[in-house]
Every structure is written in structure tokens, then in C-alpha cells.
Structure 1
Amino acid sequence: MTTRLAYGVSAAAMAAVLGAAAPAFAQSGAEVEEIVVTAQRVEENLQDAPVAVTAFSAAALERSNVETLDDVAIRTPGFSMGKVDPIQQNFAIRGIGSAQGISQNAGGDPSVVVFVDGVYAGRGGTPDLDALDLERVEVLRGPQGTLFGKNTIGGLVQFVTRKPGRDPALRIQGQLGNYDRRAINVRGNLPISDTLSVAGGVSIKKRDGYELNETTGNHVNNEDLKSLHAALRYAPSDALDVVLSYDVADQDQRGNPRDNICDTTFQGGIHCVGVNPDPRVMNAYTDGVMRRLLKTYRAEVNWQTPFGTLTSLTGYRDVKLNYVTPFFSNPVNPPAQIESTETGYEKDQQFSQEFRLAFDLLDERLRGQVGAYFLTEDINRTAWLLQQFPAPAQTGFATYPQAVDSKSTALFGQLSYDILPELTATVGARMTWEEKEGHFIGRKISGPGQPPPLGADYDVRAEEKWHAFTPRFALDWKPMDQVLVYASAARGFKSGGFQGTAGTAASQSTPYDPEFAWSYEVGAKTQWLANRLRLNLALFKTDYKDLQVSQLVPLCCVVVGNAATAKIEGAELEFVVRPFDGFQIDGSYAWLNAKFESFANGAQNNYSGNRLPRSPEDKINIGVQYDTELAGGWSLLARVDYSNQSKMYFEASNTPQQKQQGYINWDGRVALSSPDDRWEVAVWGKNLSDELVATYVTYFGLYRQTLVPYTPPRTYGVTLTWKM
């Protein structure tokens, strides 16, 4: 079932069944879970927020065994995710996303941003979800250019951690699974006094790799991740609340060589010699390396003043990343084979400061917030590219050091006014000033010829400034207590930048421009049957211009340019229903039509009308769970999650080689809890149908080779939890 018609029929049928069955179960069901979100930078009920947001509470994350952002993406309408490797991630929301991992380019930025407790997490990935002790995860869809600002043109993901509290708590969890998975997670909260409390968590995860590198005999794409989270809260009065937190993630594991899908008919298949056709077996001459050390410091101060709540958010991130990635995954042995290896080292230091004042006037008829924001990033990155080809002129070793200083400053505000008790108008705006300056070097180290992508050695300096005005207008109407209807128009902005590994000095020193998008949305958030049935709907259209598109130039490099305009339209439906005590069905359906309106890539290629990368037309997710009490006070909770996504492309050309076919995913979890609720043992499985799904595709048309890393195969295990 991968067509729009089939998906639409499924979603409509589900809604019809729920509506028809409603009177029968209205008297016996329990209420759906209420979730508080900060999608508008203030706490409010999910159903009262006039924006498209999907939220997962801590309990929902545990019930579905959500451990990574991949798990979040597969359960969120309009959200797709890929990976260049386990660290460099690509997010796309409603078809808007970066075409390559931002760590591959010191002068580039993402289109979908992660925030941790309100702090922008630009480069180097995010802390481990398990160690953070999350209170919830929020996914905001569509441009968020007013209140969140920087590079949130596609949307954002927000991690909200649990603040230290006055109740002592301890939770210890151990896990065993296939591929020799071993994990332990400890979280705790300790009140020191009436005004001071601390909380923290530590997580250690290890497992063998999902793929075998036949050349070395090692399993690659393994996991070795250690994470720590610590927080201190000082609340001397109701007027002052200070939270200081620290996170560290230490990742040290083997690399992620690509599966080499060879065209054996090309040149007699000589370039496929020694390549194993099994997609989980690699033939790289080296395993590669993935190492990351991420440290984050955050300070949040909330002060109740006579004018409103003044919030200060301070963040500092220090990231060290290095990797070795063999791309072609075939040994360089006679007969001559093709191999390309990228080695990279990056150090990123980021500081951000935000001040925000939230207030209400006129007996709360007028509510608003104003603020100022500043961010600076100091990025030092060096890439080494080794290319070993049959032709000597194409063989060589080159280095590409980059140093980029980036600054972003913004003033913003938003006001909401109750025209009538049930009718509210909102207007907001943000003015952003950005600048980037960099020092870029391309230098040949060795080789008989000039190694691609380097056309000639260069050493250049470049700088550029941009500014953007991103307003938002909205109107929401609440005709009854459990129904909210809204309409909005918002503008998004993504910063311009510089190339990663450019082939020439001219290309490297020429910046590409920012992206802009206007998004129009109407939606409804409703709850029925005494809060036992929730139905939320969003319809949207986005006009996109100056789209930054990454294109692979054969025997050169990945080039980013402002090549296109795009039109995006779609619909998203989310529902939760509890027909009777202990039983719940929840899910979503998304239809997305995201296409290039105008995109002429040179004289030979016109991509107008092609689908945007990572924008599946249809995506459905359904979760079914049941919990009940057993004899002796024990309780059982069982949950199954089903998702079905239609085909999508990884590149603007929409070639068949760069397409991920539609696929189905099944996850499941069964948990047994003791009468005192202190012990729980859970058996779980992910990707139970063992689908082979690409996370990223690179196609070298000149050699007819397709290079692919994949998501995990079928995994399963058991988790034991003790808590007090």
C-alpha cells in the first residue's frame, strides 16, 4: 500500500470507524493523555497551541521504545530523516531539508534545527536521548522564523529535559539484545534543600556492527556511546528559578562504509571485482572511524518581574569530531579498482544568548513576548580526500582546511490579542542579521595528477553578510471548549554560506544566498467524547525561493547553489482514541506534494517538476496499545507500531538509482510491571519485517556505481528497569 489513494482510504476509514464507534465506547473509555508544550516559547496545552506540532511525552517515548531521533521521525507526519553516517544527520520536514550533512561543510547550515531546552544545537549532533531524562520531545512543522529564528525554515525538533525537583527519584535500566547489544542507563533526582536540587543521568551503549567488512574481517557500523547529563536547580522563591545543566556525549566506534551496488554490465563489470553483492557485507580496504566528543553547557534563568517573566537562556557547545569514511567499499587490488576515502576533523565552539520577556496586559486579553538573540560559532574543519582510480591523472591526495566564524543577531516579538473571548489574532516578527567570514585552502599533497575535486591549489578568504525579516500572522477561533481552528502565514529564512570542498578558488570564495519560504496553513485541533478522542488536522502550502541545492559533479565535488524555486502543499492528520480502559489507538497520515517549480541544472538537465529530496508523498503511522492488570497486582502493557512510507528520492535529479522504494516498518514492545511498580521487564523488537532502507544514496553515473548506507536491520532484546 504505497499510493496516495490507498493511504487516503486507510486514513479516512480509520476516522470513519472511530466516529461510528464513538457512541458505543464514550461511556467506558479513559481520557487521552494531556501534553503541555512550549511550541510558542510559553507553556500551553498541545490542543491550545495554534501551530502544527507533534509531541511525545516521556511515557509515550518509553511505551514505544523510542531511543533515537530516527524513532521520532518515523512516528511524526511530514518528518523524514537520513544519515550520511551515524553522526552526520539529514532532517527534512514537509520536504524542506538540507541535501547533505552539515558537518561536511564548515560554511553551511541545516534547514531543520534541533533545540535542547531552548538552546540551538547547530553542529556536531545531539546528546543521547536516554541520558537526557526527557520530559518530552516536540516536533514543530513549517517555518518557525519568528520565535525560534535561525535556520528553522523547515521546522524544528525540541528536546525538553526534566528539571530537578523536590521529590527524590532513582531509575536503573539495563538492556541486552541481538548484535551483542549491551546498555545501562541510570537517572536520578536528589533534593538537597527546599531551594536546591540536583538531577542527572548516565548512559552506556555498546553493540556489534550491523555489517561485515570482508576485507578486514570486522563488523562495522557498530555502537560505542557514553553519555552524561547533570543539572542543578536553585529556586529560592516563586519569583526566581535558575537551572544549570551540563551534557557530554563520547562516541568512539568503527566507521560506516557504503554498500557498493555495482552495474556489472558496465565495462565488463571490471570495477565490481571483489565486491560482495550482499548489502550487509562490505569490501572496504579500511573499516573507517567515527569519533565524537560533544560538551554542552546551559543556563536558564526565569525571573518573575512586575512586567512579566524575564527569561535568560545561555548556551555553550564544544564539539570535536573526526571520521574516516571509505566510499566505494571495494579493495584497491589488481585489476585496478576505484576507491575514494574522506578523512575529516572538526572542532566547533558555539555560544548563544537569548533574553525574552513574556507578559500579559488588559486582563490577559493581550499576551506577548519580546526578545533579543545572539549566536556565534567558531568552526575549524579539515578534510583530506584520497582518490585511487585506474587513471593516474585522477589519482591523488588533497587537503581542504577551513576556518569559518559565523555570527547571528536578532530582535523578535509576538503579540496575541483576544478580539473576542473565542477569537484571537496574533502577529509576530523577527529581524535577523548574519555574517560569515572564512579562510579556505585547497592543496594537493601527493599524486601523479591533480586529485579531484581540486582543479588547482588555492588559499582564499571570503566574507558575506545577510539580513532577513521573518513575520508571522495568525488567527485562531475557539467556537467551543474542545475545538480550536486556526489559520496562519509565516516566513522562514535559512542562512547563506560557502562551499565545502570546492574545486577552484572562485567557487570556494563565492557565497551562495539564503533561502526564503512563505508558508500558509489552516488547521483544527479537536477533542471529543469527554476527551477520549483527539483529531487534529493541518493543511498547508509553501512557496520556496532561492532553494539551496547540493549537486554531485562527477570527478569534482558536491556543489551547493541557489538553483531553484519550489511549491509545496500537503495535509496532515493525527489522532488518538481510547475506546475503553486500557486500550488506545493513535497515529497519523501525511500527504505531501513537494516539487521543484523551476530548476534548470545546466544546459542538459531540467529538474523542474521533480520531487524534492526526502519528501515521500504518503506516510502513515498507526500505534495500538493495551494495558491491563493481571493476577496478584502485576500489570501488562503491549504496544505495536506500524508505519508505511511511499517512495522518496535522495537527490534532485530523481534518478532511479537514488530512490528509496516505499517500505513498511513494524516495532513492538511488551512490558510486565510488578505490583509496587518498581520493577519492569520488557521485550521489544524494531524493524521486525527486516526492511532494507537506505539512509543516504550517492550515485556516480560515470562509473554506474551506487553507494548506500542502511538503517539497522531487525533488532530485538530485553530491558529490565528498577525505580524508586
Structure 2
Amino acid sequence: MFLRWKVEARHRHDTPLHPFTPSPTFALSSADLLNASATEGYQTISNEIRLIGESGRLQWLVGGFYAQEEVDAFTRLEFGVDTGRYLCGLFTANTVASCFNATGFQPASITTSFIGDNNFNPNLVIAGEGSEGIFDVSSRSWSVFAQGTWALTDRFSATLGLRYIDDHKEGTGDNTVDNTVALTDNNSLPPFLGLVNDFTAEVDDTALTGTFNVQYEFTPDLMVYASYSRGYKAGGINLDRTSATVVTPLTGAQPVADPTFDPEFSDNYEVGMKSQWFNNSLGLNLTAFNTEFEDLQILSFTGLAFIVETMPSARTRGVELESYWEPVEDLVFTAGVTYADTEYGSGSLLTQSLPNPPINLTGLHFTNAPVWSGSLGMAYSWDLTSNLEGYFNINGFYGSDRSTSSAQGPDKEQEAYELINFRMGLAHAAGWDLALWCRNCGDTEYYQVLFNSVYQNSATSPNVDGYIGDRREIGLTLSVDF
């Protein structure tokens, strides 16, 4: 019998993020409409203890885990010099001239169900004033776990593991407004500034997760396996202004959204094969998978911030093939292809994205989840001297069409594209490396994300902005190990 114990402890203390102020382009407009800044700090500590042992054909471990985290966040949204006139022109029936009237105006007609004020004065929207939020969340998590692997024969083994998890989170949000005159009707404008409401929230989650798999070795170079696992991701609290769940020009503000979100659970099934052939010069791994999600957590853009929402059900299934081939020493080719069919289940409504009303995701693919993806690569290295090595590698990636936004639609689609990367250089045994490299060598233009424009949208005529992926980069890098 063999026993071994292990204790791990990690601590990370109060790391503030560098404040950002994307002004005035936060609204991706040349007009100074909305400025934002934010800071965040956190403290974390975690500890884990394991006891590992062997007894005959059984290998086992038991252990426990404990973690605490404190997160403090501050956000501020400020009006720009053009905000008042922009709101005036966007939501009233007045002329451009009246919106630029220095003394204000009384409109002949106005969408009162949306604005709620027949005497809107753009000059009361003062640049530099706005709203700010102070948020904090404290969390505590502990778990106990055990796992055992039985070698039933020399070729056949089975593994069973269980983990019990207990999570607790509590948080507060304190929202203030320093331009109270301009925000008298703030409750009618949640897409832009969020409802000025404080909140106290608490989340308690428990879960029992586990894994079971069996594997059989036909030969030392050929193994097949099947596995099942139950996955869990804790619920939490969104650290942001709580906006309305549905807002339209006809209905106005509806009930305020809950800042908390539910835990995510998944049932994962997988069968596969791992193999090596021809004296290990060829490797082939094949996997088929199916995952069913309950309360899938997705990231949603509200127009001012990213928050987490849950979809009641979802699934992903597919096949993945990975391979390598080394025809001669130090020359390696790699290839991989994945077919992944993802789908949101019935009743999947994205409630906090723009434009409102909610978007029905039922039957649609996951965000940034191409059905087909693949990669090809080649790497070669050779000795120039006993201490100097040359190397060369090139690899490519392909992904089919996909939606880049949770708020899906034809205007959020990214067409299929390919990327090619290249690197060659010299590496010395003394620890230095000189490399010439290229990323996106074909200068492919593609969008990482497309989203409804900040502060410039309506439910009937949405505008779309996006972030373009990195274009071609060529560089020379010298690195030295000391």
C-alpha cells in the first residue's frame, strides 16, 4: 500500500485594474455622447488538500478545497457635450434647429410613452455629469472530492469520481446620479443609463458532480474509451446597473431584472479512440461527444455592459479528429477537424440585449461556434551546430460561418474565413532565440464580434458596430533566458 498527501495554497491580493475611459468613442461615434470609466479590485485565497494512495489494482485520492474572493468595482457613465441634443433629435418631433436652441424648447409633439416629459430641455443634460455605481461581491466556496481507478485487468480499467460543492455569494450595488434634473424621467430610459436602483443580492448553490469512464487497451498503441461526467458552473451576481427586462416605445419600462443568475449544469457523454501507428510516426485520435446543458450561462451585451444570462436548455454534439505524422525525424505534420452542432433549446430568450424586445434564440447555434473548424500545421527543426538549431513552422486555421453576437441576426454573421501563421528562427543552447514571424499572413479581414451600436439604436432600425480581428502582423523577436 502506498500513501502520499499534498497541500496547496494560493493567495492573490487586491489587484486593481487600470481605469479605462474610452471617451468619446465609447458610443463608437465621432459625437461626444457618452463617456465611461471603471476600476476593479479583488482579493482571492484558495487552499486544497489531497491524500493519494494505491492498494493493489486500485489507485485513489480524496481531498478538499476552500476558496474566498472579494471583488469591488466602480463604474461611471458621463454625459458628453452632444448628449442632450442627440436625445432631443432622436426622440422628439422637433427640428434640428430647435434641438440646438440655447434656451431650450417646448416640443409640439413628443413620444411621451418613451420620454414621459413634454418639456424636454437638452441643455439640462450637462456634460461631465451622469451616474455611477459602486458594487461589491464576496464569495465563499468549499468542496470535498474522491476518485478511484480500478485496473480490472491488465487492459481494462474503470474510473469513478464524485465531488460535492457548496457556493455562497452575496453582493450589493449602490447607484447614484449627480444630474438629477436631466434624469427626472430616468426610469423611462433604461437602455441608456440603467434604472437608478440599489440592490442587495445573495446566491446559495450546492451541487453533486462526478465522472465515470471505462477504457480498454487492445494494444499498448490502441486504446478506446467511453465516459460520462456531470458538470457544474456556479451562479452569480452581475456587477452592473440593473436595466429593465423589456423596453419598447409602446410599453415603456417593465419589471426590473434580477441581478443574479442561476448555476449551470451539464451532462457530458464521450466515446473515443487514441492510437499510434508505424512505430509512433502516425497518431490518430477520434472523439464523438454530446453535451446537454441546463441553464446555460451566456454573456450578453446590454448596450453599456456585458452581463450573464441563462438559457433554460441547450446542447452540443459532434465529432473531432486529431492527427500527426512524422515521416522523417524532426519533420511533423498535424491536422485536425471538428464538426460541432450546437443549438439553444426551447424558450431561450435573450432578455437584456439591444434592440428590445427579447430575442428568441431557440434552435439557433451558439455564439462564435462554427459548425466546421479545422487546422493544418507543419514544423521542422534541424541542427546547424552542436549548440545551434534552426526551426520553421507554419499553421493554418479554418472556421465556417458563425454568429459573433448573443443578440443573433443576419447582421451579426461572420462568413467563413482562414488564418495562416508562420514562424522561423534560430535557437541557441545558451538560451537565446531569434525569430521572424507573421500572424494572419494572408491579411484576412474578419470580425471578432458584431453588436448593436451603443446609444444609437431603436427596435426598428438597429445600427451595428464591430471589432475587427488583428490584421497581418510581421515582426522580429529576440528572447534571452537568464
State the TM-score, normalizing by the size of structure 2: 0.78
Against the structure 1 CA distance between its residues 415 and 633, is the aligned structure 2 distance closer, same or farther, given a 3 Å change threshold?
closer
CA distance in 1, matches of 2:79, 2:450: 19
> What's the offset of the Cα at 1:559?
5.4
1:647 Cα offset (Å): 2.1
Match of 2:40 in 1: 346
Q: Which residue of the other structure, out of 404, 412, 423, is the alignment partner of 2:137? A: 404
Match of residue 313 from structure 1: 8
| 1:520–1:541 contact (8 Å) kept in structure 2 | yes
Q: In the alignment, what sits opposite 1:662?
A: 416
Structure 1 window deviating more from structure 2 (367-376 vs 310-319): it is: 310-319
Pair 1:329 & 2:28 matched: yes
Structural mapping, 1:401-550, within 5 Å: 401-446=134-179, 448-449=182-183, 450=186, 452-453=190-191, 454=193, 456-503=195-242, 507=256, 511-550=260-299
Q: Distance in 1 between matches of 2:203 and 2:431?
A: 58
- Structure 1: which amino acid aligns with 2:163? R
Aligned equivalent of 1:563: 311
> Quick check: which has more Rg, 1 or 2?
2
Asked if the contact 2:261–2:308 (Cα under 8 Å) also holds between the matched residues in 1, the reply is yes
Q: How big is each residue's C-alpha offset from its partner over 1:665-691, in whole Å with a ceiling of 9 and x where there is no partner?
A: 1111112356x6665432111111112
- Asked if structure 1 preserves the Cα contact closer than 8 Å seen for 2:316 and 2:343, the reply is yes
Counterpart mapping for 1:35-434 below 5 A: 308-318=3-13, 319-321=15-17, 322-325=19-22, 326-332=25-31, 339-362=33-56, 365-388=57-80, 389=83, 390-391=86-87, 397-434=130-167
> Which residue does 1:643 correspond to in 2?
397
- Kindly provide the CA deviation profile for residues 135-161 of structure 1, in whole angstroms up to 9, marking residues without a partner as x: xxxxxxxxxxxxxxxxxxxxxxxxxxx
Give the counterpart letter for 1:377 in structure 2: E
Task: Give the secondary-structure state (helix, strand or coil) at the position aligned to 2:37.
Answer: strand
Following superposition, the deviation at residue 405 of structure 1 comes to 0.4
Structure 2: distance between partners of 1:596 and 1:459: 32
Give the CA deviation at 1:658. Answer: 2.1
Deviations 1:186-213 (A, max 9, x none): xxxxxxxxxxxxxxxxxxxxxxxxxxxx
In structure 2, C-alpha distance between the alignment counterparts of 1:588 and 1:477, rounded to whole Å = 24
In 2, the alpha carbon distance for the partners of 1:466 and 1:478 equals: 39
The Cα RMSD (Å) is 2.7
Q: Percent identity?
A: 24
Call closer, same or farther: CA 1:315–1:557 in 2, change over 3 Å: closer
The one-letter code sitting in structure 1 at the alignment partner of 2:319 is A
For 2:233 and 2:11, locate their aligned partners in 1 and report how far apart those are by CA, in whole Å: 22
- 1:695 and 1:708 in contact (8 A); partners too: yes
Q: Given that residues 21 and 35 in structure 2 are in contact (C-alpha distance below 8 angstroms), is that contact kept between their aligned partners in structure 1?
A: yes
> For the structure 1 residues 595 and 340, does the alpha-carbon distance in structure 2 shift closer, same or farther, using more than 3 Å as the test?
farther
Residue type of the alignment partner of 2:261: Y
Q: Structure 1: any 5+ residue segments left out of the alignment?
A: 1-305, 334-338
The aligned residue for residue 321 of structure 2 is 573
Q: Distance in 2 between matches of 1:679 and 1:357?
A: 41
Tell me if the contact between 1:499 and 1:508 (Cα under 8 Å) persists in the aligned partners.
no
Alignment deviations for residues 12-50 of structure 1 (CA, whole Å, 9 cap, x no partner): xxxxxxxxxxxxxxxxxxxxxxxxxxxxxxxxxxxxxxx
What is the SS of the residue equivalent to 1:324?
A: coil
Query: What does the per-residue CA deviation read over 1:216-274, in whole Å, with 9 as the maximum and x for residues that have no partner?
Result: xxxxxxxxxxxxxxxxxxxxxxxxxxxxxxxxxxxxxxxxxxxxxxxxxxxxxxxxxxx
Aligned equivalents of 1:489, 1:634: Cα separation in 2: 47
More relative contact order, 1 or 2 (CA 8 Å, 6+ apart): 1
1:282-302 Cα deviation digits (max 9, x unpaired): xxxxxxxxxxxxxxxxxxxxx
Give yes or no for the alignment of 1:694 onto 2:447. yes
* Matched residue SS, 1:391: helix
Q: Could you list the runs of 5+ residues in structure 2 that have no partner in the other structure? A: 89-114, 116-121, 245-254, 352-356
1:502 touches 1:559 (CA, 8 Å); kept in 2? no
Q: The residue matched to 1:599 in structure 2 has which SS?
A: coil
Inter-partner Cα distance in structure 2 for 1:638 and 1:584: 11
Q: Deviations over 1:57-109 (max 9, x none)?
A: xxxxxxxxxxxxxxxxxxxxxxxxxxxxxxxxxxxxxxxxxxxxxxxxxxxxx
Structure 1 residues 402 and 673, CA gap change in structure 2 (3 angstroms): closer
CA shift, 1:722, in A, is 5.0
1:378, CA displacement in angstroms? 0.4
Q: Cα–Cα, structure 1 residues 438 and 507, in superposed 2: closer, same or farther, change >3 Å?
A: farther
Q: How many residues align?
A: 410
Output the CA distance in 2 between the equivalents of 1:722 and 1:437: 46
Match of 1:538, as an amino acid?
T
**Match for 1:566: what amino acid?**
A
Structure-1 separation of matches of 2:207 and 2:6: 24
